[in-house]
Each structure stands twice: as structure tokens, then as C-alpha cells.
Structure 1
Amino acid sequence: MGLVMSFMGKGLPTTQMLSLVMGTLYSKFIEKEIKTFDDFHFAILDMFNTINAALPGKHYDVPPPNQVHDIFKKWEGAKEASEKKKLFIDFMKTSVSLSKFDDSTLITGLVTPPAAMAAKRAGESLPQLSMIKVVPDVIFVPAATVLALISAKLSKKMFLGNVAS
């Protein structure tokens, strides 16, 4: 990819790219009719949902509601469109953070597939679980992994409360 960019010249500097992305986000954001805090918050959530659905790999966490409420108060107080745009861009630059995996999710995702295969092989020899032979490995292993990840996430929320992850 670097070779292609060298043939094209310098490429786009990061400030120009950031300006382009922020301008596009703001134009999509401003299209929505925003009258109340709920409308504003919904527009922010919709924007993050769109970004996370469009970009493969990295995902971004939505800022906490108290930060969104603070920026909404400033947004309401702004009179000019350029001032609102500046507030929006500053808010996005300062409060957007990359979503991070916690250790329990990573370990669960790594350990579960081999454990699921071992459990399936052990279960095939038991007469009570003879039905498990019918389920293909291609379906059993991912299903077990997804269920293990969901249970790890739910147990973390149950025992540790609402911890950001």
C-alpha cells in the first residue's frame, strides 16, 4: 500500500483527511432534526452505529451521557452554524475513544474453541449424548465460542456491575 501511495505523490495529509471525515460526519449529523437532548443523543448514537458498522476491525465507544449532555448545552447556546460545527468537531476529537477488549474476553475467545472440540469428542463416547455426533464441528465450535463469549460478558456485568469494556 505504501508503494501505491508513493506513485500517487504525497497522498493526503492527516489534517486534510481528518477535516474531510469530520465534515462528512457533521453534514450527516446536521441533517437530523435536533430539538431536544433526546434527539441530539439519538443522532450521536446513530452516528457511532454507522461508523462502527462501516469500518471493519476497530470500533469506537460512544462518550458517556453526561459528556453528551454537556456538549448539548453548549450546542443549544451556540447561535451560528459555524460555532455549532466547531463545537461538534472539538467534541468528536476529544471524546471519541477506541473500544478495547478486556482480558477475560480475549482469554475466553482463545481457550473456548479447543475446549469445545475436546468436549465434543468426549461427549460422542457417552451414550446419553449420542445426538452430539450429528452436529458438525463447523457449527458446534463457533456456537460454543459465541455462547462462551456472551456468558463471559454477562457474568462480568453481573458480578462487577456496569464496567466499561
Structure 2
Amino acid sequence: MGIAISVLGKLGLPGVDSLSTDQVYKKYFGNKNIKKYEDFHLAFVDLCSDFNLVMPGRHFTIQASEIRVFYDSKWTKVPADTDGESKRKALLVEFMKDRVKEYKTSSRAMMVTGATAPPAAILIKKSGEKVPQLKMLRIDLIPDVVFVPAFTVLSLIGVRILNVTRTTRDTP
């Protein structure tokens, strides 16, 4: 993943690489009194959340167990003095480059849903005129130019929710 200079600029930081990583580190980790894993985890989640906010369409993910292993094996081994802070910053940047991965959605499922949802919406609307269970919903009163796009968007949102739910269940 790395920390892109342009993304850090969107966080309100200058474009110099080392200065940007210094300011990001100070904002999320340096100014906070991190004594235990829970504090570190909250700071890391804040960093990832802000990073995902400034990246339209691209999101990054990491398993919580990897954060715990990093904290226990590397972060706590470095002293919290002035010299240790630069080592911690370098360890954190290296950890993010190695372990934080781009979250990939199932584009195939999205494409299939996007292609099949409009015809399915038309079939549902036509069958709504004859099937008693659908007839009581009065779908026939909704114009096609509203119903088909709304049905398609809701179908795509449903596929996205299923993908996110599946990936969060797979992540320990």
C-alpha cells in the first residue's frame, strides 16, 4: 500500500515525504499516550479510517490479528523516548507497506447484478399485475423510469453488503 504523498496532502499535510509521514505519525500516534494495545488499536483504526475517507473508491483493510502481532512483537520492544519514536515511525510505515492490503470487491458479482437487475425489475413489475401477493404492493403505479433504476441500485447495494458481510466474517 505505502503512504502516497498526494493522499497525505489531502489529509491537510504538506507534500514532502518525510515531513508528511512525521506529521501523520504525530497526529495519530505521537500525541497520544499509548500504554496498551487498545490505545494503539484505536489510533491505528483512526489512521486507516481517515485514509479510507480520502481515497474515493479505494479502501484498505488489515486483519486485527496482524495488528496485535505487530504491537506485541515490534511496537512494545522499542522504547518510547525521542530516538525510539523515529524507530517506531519507521516500523509502522514498513508494517503498513507490507501488511495493509487493498480491499477488492467482487466486480464479477457487481457486473452480473448490474446486467440482470433491469430485466428482473421489468419482470417483477409485469408479474406484479398478475400475482396476487405482488398485486397488493401496487408496483404498477410506480413509473418504469423510477422503478427500474431504483431496483438496480438497491440490488447493487445488496450485493455490496453481502460482499462486505462475507469478508468481515472471514477476517478473524
- Deviation for aligned residue 1:100: 3.6
Gaps of 5+ in 1: 1-15
Residue 170 of structure 2 corresponds to residue 162 of structure 1: yes
Instruction: Give the number of aligned pairs.
Output: 142
Change (3 A) 1:109 1:162: same
Give the equivalent residue in structure 2 for 1:150: 161
In the superposition, relative to structure 1, how do residues 153 and 59 fare at CA in structure 2: closer, same or farther (>3 Å)?
closer
Of the two structures, which has the highest relative contact order with CA contacts closer than 8 Å and spacing of 6 or more?
2
In 2, Cα distance between the equivalents of 1:116 and 1:71? 49
TM normalised by structure 1 equals: 0.71
Give the direction of change, closer, same or farther, for the CA distance of 1:151–1:60 in structure 2 (3 Å limit).
closer
Residue 74 (structure 2) aligned to one of 56, 63, 71: 71
CA deviations over 1:8-36 (Å, ceiling 9, x no partner): xxxxxxxx843132112111021223222
The 1:31/1:17 distance shift into structure 2, 3 A limit, reads same
Partner of 1:139: 150
Q: Percent identity?
A: 19
| Structure 2 Cα separation of the partners of residues 119 and 66 of structure 1 | 47
Residue pair 2:58, 2:102 contacting (<8 A) in 1 also: yes
Q: Name the CA shift for 1:137/1:81 in 2 (closer, same or farther; >3 Å).
A: farther
TM-score by length of structure 2 reads 0.68
Do structure 1's residue 35 and structure 2's residue 38 form an aligned pair? no
- The answer as to whether partners of 2:118 and 2:149 remain within 8 angstroms in 1 is no
Matches within 5 A, 1:1-165: 17-29=16-28, 30-62=30-62, 64=66, 65-75=68-78, 78-96=79-97, 97-101=100-104, 105-126=106-127, 127=129, 128=131, 129-130=134-135, 131-133=138-140, 134=142, 136-154=147-165, 156-157=166-167, 162-163=170-171
Cα pair 2:61 2:101 within 8 Å, conserved: yes
What stretches of structure 2 of length at least 5 have no aligned partner?
1-14
Measure, in 1, the Cα distance between the counterparts of 2:37 and 2:162. 34
What's the CA shift string for 1:88-128, capped at 9, x where partnerless? 223222333331415xx111111111211011011111123
